[in-house]
Structure 1
Amino acid sequence: MLSVTSLFAPVESDLHLLVENLKNLVGAKHPILYAAAEHLFGAGGKRIRPAIVLLLARAVSLDADILPQHRRLAEITEMIHTASLVHDDVVDESDVRRGVPTVHSSFGNRIAVLAGDFLFAQSSWYLANLDNLTVVKLLSEVIMDLAEGEIQQGLNRFDTGLTLQAYLDKSYYKTASLIANSSKSVGVLSNLSEHQLGNLYNYGRNLGLAFQIVDDILDFTGSVEVLGKPAGSDLKSGNLTAPVLFALEEKPYLASLIEREFSEDGDFDQAFEMVHQSEGISRSRELATRHVEQAIACLQDLPASEPQKALVELGNYVLRRVY
């Protein structure tokens, strides 16, 4: 089975450069922010988002090297993603991410919020310096979407009336928007046609949605080692995801457990079990599969190459995590 690292072989040296650059971009002006950055960018994340940007850049510029702007776009993408994680961890009060203590548990909430703000501001500054208004607009929208997704998630806790469409919208804001708009930005920097830009955007959008659905399935099927947090964390905090929404259609009693916020003994365990007894997980797998198929279809116009093959394989990798 291919690991995600071997998938990224065509851009391995690009990613290595990216991590070094990120530490320097955040700058040594603020020792505490540098420590936070070192901590974030060195925490052995999979770097999936910048890898997608770099793979697409290589896939669309086969005859030439990728542009410095493509590299900078990949760095900005990882900065925005990391800034959102720092803020998410404060909101969720998580102490550990990827097995490493979170910024707020190491440096306190105040520094964590400021470190997240600093990374958003820093990414905006580098974004402006790309001197491409279309890309600035696309990625500024992402920063708004990330906040919108968090707000929606906060407002819809324990809401058993949540529709699948509302769940997908929130998943777009929280996860897919960054992948979709940074993918499209690669094409903008390469002067591709509107049709090609649409394909790159839809590749990122569908891959991002599949990615989120798979994460939500793993919340029910993964181990603490895989998840880096206890199983069922989303359900426990009232964040209702695809497996739960599908299970609710079959098991009406599940709604009363959720609506009383698991206030009675055994409520949560019973709810967790009901999701497993329903078609919720298999229907969520089918939903993720449809999005991966749509993502892969968007790559058909790209010339055959190692980077293009890796982008297709990435879709299959996302699904293999739950099959």
Structure 2
Amino acid sequence: MTPATSLFSPVEADLQTLADNLKQLVGKGHPILCAAAEHLFGAGGKRIRPAIVLLISRATMLEQDITPRHRRLAEITEMIHTASLVHDDVVDESQMRRGVPTVHSLFGNRIAILAGDFLFAQSSWYLANLDNLEVVKLLSEVIMDLASGEIQQGLSRFDSSISIETYLKKSYYKTASLIANSSKAAGLLSEVSQETAEHLYSYGRHLGLAFQIVDDILDFTSSIDTLGKPAGSDLKSGNLTAPVLFALEEKPYLEVLIEREFAQEGDLEQALCLIDDSQGIQRAKELAEDHAKQAVDHLSVLPPSESRQALIKIADYVLSRPF
């Protein structure tokens, strides 16, 4: 499988600059936040979201270099994403993320919440300074969508009646909105046509949905070493994802286990066996493949380039993460 970072070769230098800038942007003047920022942005991560922004920026600016505003947009995108992770980890009471201790496990809930709020506020301030009202509206909507997705997930815990459409809407809010709107924003900063901007939005939307569906499959198929958390963690907490919703159509008893919130000994293990014995995971894979294909189709509006090719390969990478 191609490692994510090797896909980003057209923007490798841009991403290094971004990593250096993020610590500077966030940490200045706040010792605790500086320590949290060093932890957050020093932990690495694949940087897929800012890489997509930078690749779209380069794919739409073939005759000239990308602007400081493109670079700042990529930084804002990573700041918003990171802020949402800090808050998610507090809500989920996660001690580790990708093998690294979470901010709240190191600094406490109070600092983690404040750090997440500070990142959202910082990103909003830098966003306003781009002086592009349409871009400001797009990324402000993302921040609202992230909160909506988290609330929707909290309200639908252990609700076995939710539909695939409801699941996809929540997945859009939590994951795809940021990728879709930042992709479109990068195009707008390059002054592409409105039609091209909509295609870039659709690329990000479908890619984000594919990414989230695959993430949800990995919750059932990955080892704790790969995932950084036990298999079935989402199911245990009542977050019903695509593999579960598809499995429910075949395995009626799964609904009984979910409705009683796995209260009896062996309930969760039995539920995992029922899902494994169904077409749920396979159907979820097919759904992810469909969205990844749709994402790539929307890139046909861009002229051929190394950056466009990298954007296509990212869709392949999303599907090839180890199941």
* 2:195 paired residue number: 195
For the residues of structure 2 that align with 1:152 and 1:180, how far apart are their CA atoms? 20
For the residues of structure 1 that align with 2:235 and 2:291, how far apart are their CA atoms? 23
Instruction: Give ranges in structure 2 of 5+ residues lacking alignment.
Output: none
1:244 aligned onto 2:244: yes
**Percentage identity across paired residues of the two chains:** 72
* 1:266 paired residue number: 266
The alpha carbon displacement at 1:143 in A equals 0.2
The residue identity in structure 2 corresponding to 1:77 is T
* 1:311 paired residue number: 311
1:219 aligned onto 2:219: yes
* 1:35 paired residue number: 35
For the residues of structure 1 that align with 2:264 and 2:99, how far apart are their CA atoms? 31
* 1:121 paired residue number: 121
For the residues of structure 2 that align with 1:245 and 1:216, how far apart are their CA atoms? 11
* 1:16 paired residue number: 16
**Contact kept in structure 2, 1:243 and 1:283, CA below 8 Å:** yes
For the residues of structure 1 that align with 2:46 and 2:27, how far apart are their CA atoms? 22
Note the alpha carbon deviations across 1:118-151, whole angstroms, 9 max, x for none.
Answer: 0000000000000000000000000000000000
The alpha carbon displacement at 1:28 in A equals 2.4
Task: Compute the RMSD of aligned alpha carbons.
Answer: 0.7
For the residues of structure 2 that align with 1:171 and 1:138, how far apart are their CA atoms? 17
**Contact kept in structure 2, 1:43 and 1:98, CA below 8 Å:** no
Report the 3-state secondary structure (helix = DSSP H, G, I; strand = E; otherwise coil) of the residue aligned with 1:147: helix
* Aligned residue pairs, count: 323
**Contact kept in structure 2, 1:146 and 1:173, CA below 8 Å:** yes
1:164 aligned onto 2:167: no
* 1:296 paired residue number: 296
The residue identity in structure 1 corresponding to 2:195 is H
The residue identity in structure 1 corresponding to 2:98 is R
The residue identity in structure 1 corresponding to 2:225 is E
**Contact kept in structure 1, 2:27 and 2:35, CA below 8 Å:** no
Note the alpha carbon deviations across 1:53-110, whole angstroms, 9 max, x for none.
Answer: 0000011101100011000000000000000000000000001112111110000000
For the residues of structure 2 that align with 1:101 and 1:2, how far apart are their CA atoms? 27
For the residues of structure 1 that align with 2:134 and 2:228, how far apart are their CA atoms? 37
* 1:74 paired residue number: 74
**Contact kept in structure 2, 1:214 and 1:322, CA below 8 Å:** no
The residue identity in structure 2 corresponding to 1:253 is Y
The alpha carbon displacement at 1:314 in A equals 0.4
For the residues of structure 2 that align with 1:250 and 1:88, how far apart are their CA atoms? 31
For the residues of structure 2 that align with 1:241 and 1:322, how far apart are their CA atoms? 18
* 1:279 paired residue number: 279
The residue identity in structure 1 corresponding to 2:87 is H
Note the alpha carbon deviations across 1:204-256, whole angstroms, 9 max, x for none.
Answer: 00000000000000000011111111110000000000000000000001000
Please identify, of 23-32 and 73-82, the stretch whose mean Cα deviation from structure 2 is larger.
Answer: 23-32
The alpha carbon displacement at 1:27 in A equals 3.1
Runs of 4+ in 1 over 3 A off after TM superposition: none
For the residues of structure 2 that align with 1:165 and 1:257, how far apart are their CA atoms? 23
